[in-house]
Chain A
Amino acid sequence: MFGTATPLERGLIIIGFLCLLVLPFVITNPYHIHTATMIVYFAFMAASWNFVCGYLGQLSLGHSVFSGVAGYVTVLMFTQLGISPWIGMLFGGLLAAVLSVAIGSLTFRLKGPYFTLTTIAFAEIMRIWFENTDNFIGIPLKGSEGLVVPLVGDSWWAFQFNDKTPYYYIALGLLLMIVLATIMLEKSKLGYYLKAIRGDQDGAEALGINPTKYSLIALSISAFFTGIGGAFFAQFFRYINPERNMGIDMSIDMAIMAIIGGQGTVLGPILGAFILHPIAEITRTTLGGSFLGLHLVIYGTVLALTVLYFPQGIIVPLRRILARISGRAKK
């Protein structure tokens, strides 16, 4: 299941996963568990983005639309119909997948920057529409004010917990799911098709691969997972609004974490989230409000440096270093 990983890398991956698994037993401060949950959540989101964009080599900056729509579906099904968020989450994810097919069938004929700009345009249309709609055919969307998930107390059915630990394990479970899905993608025909399309679309088409069809399949899976993530985000904060759950900031976060870590790899996006999100947290807590935006200055700088020096992501030089270490150990 590790692909081309060396024994040292396998060891590190297993140790890393075990550390994540026992983390809540080691740290007890709820704030730290909260931060750990957010890191795992962003790793999941970056990996979901990577599922289509990384393997296809197209840059979407509109993925937040999937997280936002699915989040709203989950919250509304709970508040309006009394349906458990677990079921709402699946519905939200499926709706995000349907929406992604609608958007993708239009945008996938565009290439490179044009594709990117159109994904932004679609996501912004949805965000602005949600922000300016209080009531849509009887469904209270409450515009930019957002929706609050009513508190019902500790309940698995309602996806609400007094303790932060269950949220952490749910996020970790989601992360494990996307990692397994990505590993399966790498081994599947779909994965090879996507790589072929990334390498040379005309060539792939000449070999009988329908680029739009396979791009759409991958996009809908990616949108489904992104939607699940959006639903989780809404439940975790018990609050959803268009700006935070559907805004371009979320899309940019997902994309740059995956790109900095290493797009088109299983672990790259996760590495990116584990490097970048702690930077955001540390600057926020240690420097407080006086340096608003400092973490984004760092994100931007790291992004520019990555594009210039490690265009395939930080995972590439990291693996090279690990290979050197294990090579030395053999001697």
Chain B
Amino acid sequence: MDLLLAAHIVKNGLLIGGIYGGVALGLSLIFGVMRIINFAHGSLLMVAMYLAWFLWKTLGLHPYVAAFITVPALFGLGYLIQSQIISHLFTREKALVVEPLSALLLTAGIFLVLDNLVLMIFGPDVRAVSVDIAYANFFIGEIPVNIPRFIAFVASIVVASGLSYWLKHSNMGRAIRATAQNRDAATMSGINVPFIYNVTFGLGVAILGLFGALLVPFFSITPTLGLSFGIKSFIVVVLGGIGSIWGCVVGGIVLGLFEAVASQFVTATSAAIFSFGLFIVILLVRPKGLMGKA
């Protein structure tokens, strides 16, 4: 394998991996704080992408402008899903501890509803946003770097840094971390835990609003793309260690590089086999993930 090809593979893996990491951030945050595996995670990304596409189609908004609408819209959607649907699970269970499988099933129900509502409204056709920037490149040496992908990659680093700074230094961030560590103690210190849950879920979903808008310039959309993104996000979160923000970015990059290398040897569709295999191996061998704490 010559050096240029290797550099290409690494570049592709890094870019797509960073994006995987960014997409998985919300899943990791929600799991870390609420101990809920959100099965509808990928579907919410799909909804965000359709929203960005719809805004482009009807109003002619550039996806990067549409992000200013998709982020608050998805925050609202996440907030509503948590406060109106999932919160019932928390109030039913004692001590605000949710049996993990009920939450998984509940969000699986949301996944079915979202995927098929979008299918009913927009049909099974593949949609794409065509904007000029999609084919723009800049060069590092001889290697072309696709600008929209690079923007999405940078966005995930920025979001991860911003999120971890905000969690550390803001009052709301401290309240979220306190709730994640010990719900009862947090409640006793005067933290409104149900509200924190709503905000956390909303925030986790709002990140998908951003990536939905950033992905559409180079990613065509179908109603069924959610599940594969969802599963990839699970892989990333497990790789990086659950609840770890930077672990998520690292996990994403590991998965991206792994896929980029694997797809040199087999077709891109078969390469998914290796991602699933990696996921199983990590779960069995090192369930805490690469960067997870005990």
Contacts and interface: CB of A to CB of B under 8 A. Distances in A.
A109 B287 CA distance: 11
A252 B269 contact: no
A131 interface: yes
B273 interface: yes
Chain B residues touching A, range: 35 or more
A114 interface: yes
Contacts, number: 117
A117 B108 CA distance: 12
Interface in B90-125: 92, 100-102, 104-106, 108-117, 119-120, 123-124
Chain A residues touching B, range: 35 or more
A293 B269 contact: no
B88 interface: yes
A297 B273 contact: no
Interface stretch (B148-156, B210-218, B251-259, B278-286): B278-286
B111 A300 contact: yes
Interface stretch (A30-38, A65-73, A120-128): A120-128
B263 to A, nearest CB: 12
Nearest to A59: B101
Given A114-B283, A129-B273, A259 B124 contact: no
A3 to B, nearest CB: 25
B113 A301 contact: yes
B37 interface: yes
A132 B267 contact: yes
Contacts of A120: 231
A271 interface: no
Interface string A103-137: 00010011011101110111011001101100000
Contact of A292 (B124, B269, B272, B277): B124
Contacts of A114: 283, 287
A294 interface: yes
A297 B109 contact: no
Nearest to A110: B283
Contacts of B89: 307-308
Interface string B223-242: 10001000100100010000
Nearest to A300: B112
A303 interface: yes
B61 interface: no
Nearest to A126: B273
Nearest to A124: B276
Interface in A290-306: 291-294, 296-297, 299-304
Contact of A303 (B37, B112, B115): B112
B249 to A, nearest CB: 21
A113 B276 contact: no
Given A128-B272, A304-B85, A296 B115 contact: yes
Contact of A106 (B102, B110, B120, B280): B280
A117 B107 CA distance: 14
Contacts of A121: 231, 276-277, 279-280
Given A132-B267, A292-B120, A300 B109 contact: yes
B192 interface: no
A301 B105 CA distance: 11
Contact of A293 (B85, B88, B111, B120): B120
A109 B109 contact: no
Contacts of B238: 117
Interface of B: 37, 85, 88-89, 92, 100-102, 104-106, 108-117, 119-120, 123-124, 223, 227, 231, 234, 238, 267, 269-270, 272-273, 276-277, 279-280, 283-284, 287
19 contacts: A59-B105, A110-B284, A116-B104, A117-B231, A118-B280, A121-B231, A132-B269, A132-B270, A252-B112, A293-B116, A293-B117, A294-B116, A297-B117, A297-B120, A300-B109, A303-B109, A304-B106, A304-B113, A308-B85
In the A-B complex, the 7 residue pairs with the closest CB atoms: A300-B112, A293-B116, A304-B109, A303-B109, A300-B113, A293-B119, A296-B116
Given A129-B273, A311-B102, 16 more contacts: A59-B105, A110-B287, A114-B287, A121-B279, A125-B277, A128-B273, A248-B227, A252-B112, A259-B105, A292-B124, A294-B116, A296-B115, A297-B112, A300-B112, A300-B113, A308-B88
